[in-house]
Amino acid sequence: MVARALEEGHQVTAFVRNAGSLPDNPALSIRIGSIAEQPDLVRQVVQGHDAVLSALGNPLWLKGMRGPAILAAAAANLVTAMHATGVPRLVLPLAWGTGLSRTAASPLVRAIAATLIRRDFRDFDAAEKLVTTSDLKWTIAYFGALTDDEPTTRWNASTHIRTPNPLAIARADVARFLISSLDDEALVKQHVVLSGAANGNTSSRSPGNCISDGPPGRRCSRRSAT
């Protein structure tokens, strides 16, 4: 996500625990710390920026990772810092089945959210509530199954809350949507569902996005993501 934002000409501050994988770029400033645990530092880092784009997530214990649920604490610190410093725009990606999207999720997703990864979904729900009840210009973006596939030409973003179709979506496409949404006033205070590439059409060139107020998969207007 950082690399894509830099490619699009943004000045970026990355607030991370470990800077090892970040590129060397004069437009990139790196701050080391914990958004969930260091509210004063969060305020310092946020100061002077136009927007905040979150890439936070909890450790995936299903993949053998361990660690605390941090999203709600991080969201609380971000909202407080942004209010205090006058930074208006926040884009927050969350797993499909979180918050508002749960009522439209399948019985299987709802069951998993209530049992196997209950801790995480409670944390996601709390983060969403903190953001959507704030005075910020927020956008919540729901994603399904993330893949490491190449960027695609036919992914879809819809304000209609329905199961993503296809459910799988490339991380690169999620990043592209999140970055492009920062300047999109039509998406302020909107919940958006991200669906993967239709027909498996993938390409590393000329990716775009499709924004619709109808169900995922419905024909909609094409916008350039660059």
In this structure, are strands 156-158 and 190-195 parallel, antiparallel, or unpaired?
antiparallel
Tokens describing residue 158: 């819809």
Distance CA 59, CA 141 (A): 19
| Confidence band of 67 (pLDDT split at 50, 70, 90) | low
- Give CA–CA dist 122/111, Å, rounded: 13
pLDDT digits (tens, 9 = 90+) for 21-49: 899 999 999 999 999 999 999 999 999 99
* Domain assignment of residue 174, given as a range: 2-224
CATH number at residue 140: 3.40.50.720
Residues in the chain: 226
Mean pLDDT of all residues in 198-226 = 43
Which of 87-96, 192-201, 204-213 comes out lowest in average pLDDT? 204-213
The mean pLDDT of 126-148, rounded to a whole number, is 96
Q: Label residue 83 exposed, middle or buried (CB < 10 Å: 0-12, 13-18, 19+).
A: middle
How many domains, the chain?
1
Tens digit of each residue's pLDDT (9 = 90 or more) over 189-207: 999 999 998 764 443 323 3
Does the pLDDT of residue 114 top 70, yes or no? yes
**Kind plus residue range of the DSSP H or E element containing 113:** helix 107-114
| pLDDT score for 60 | 56
Give the span between the Cα atoms of 210 and 55, in whole angstroms: 22
- Find the mean pLDDT for residues 114-131: 94
